[in-house]
Amino acid sequence: MVEYLQLGDDPHLVANVCDACGVTYFDRRNACAACGAREFSTTRLANTGAVRAFTIVHRAARGVPAPYVSAVVDLDGGGRVKSNIVNVEPTPENVSLGMRVRLATYVATTDDEGNEAVAFGYEPSPA
């Protein structure tokens, strides 16, 4: 569902990194918001990380199952992503700051022609 999710045998995220200052962006940029430089490289991000912040959402838009865990994940090796924590019961006992997580993909929806839209989240990972 997003360009920065690369599927295949080894799903992963890719990001644009400012060549001058190293700030990471998921979207295309004409210039770095941090330093103004205009040159970027593409890099593969780690599939693992730690929960930096989270909230349990109890009221969502129509058609979105709730409750669910919305989180910010600090990726190992650099980068930060906002995503849902999946494959876990959305209770405070099951999610914690610093919790280790790994990338997980899932089918978000299927259109009338049978095409699947694949999304990503993060799931609890052994330390």
Q: Using one digit for the tens of pLDDT, what is the confidence trace for 14-52?
A: 999 999 999 999 988 999 999 999 999 999 999 999 999
Per-residue burial over 19-50, b = 16 or more CB atoms within 10 Å of its CB, e = otherwise: eeeebbbbeeeeebeeeeeeebeeeebebebb
Per-residue model confidence as pLDDT tens digits over 107-123: 888 899 989 889 999 99
Identify the pLDDT of residue 88. Answer: 96
Residue (of 124, 122, 126, 111) closest to 12 by Cα position = 122
Sign of torsion, CA 27 28 33 39?
A: positive
Model confidence, pTM: 0.88
Residue 10: strand, helix, or coil: coil
- Each domain of the chain, given as residue ranges in start order, spans 1-45, 46-127
Q: Look up the CATH architecture of domain 46-127.
A: Beta Barrel (2.40)
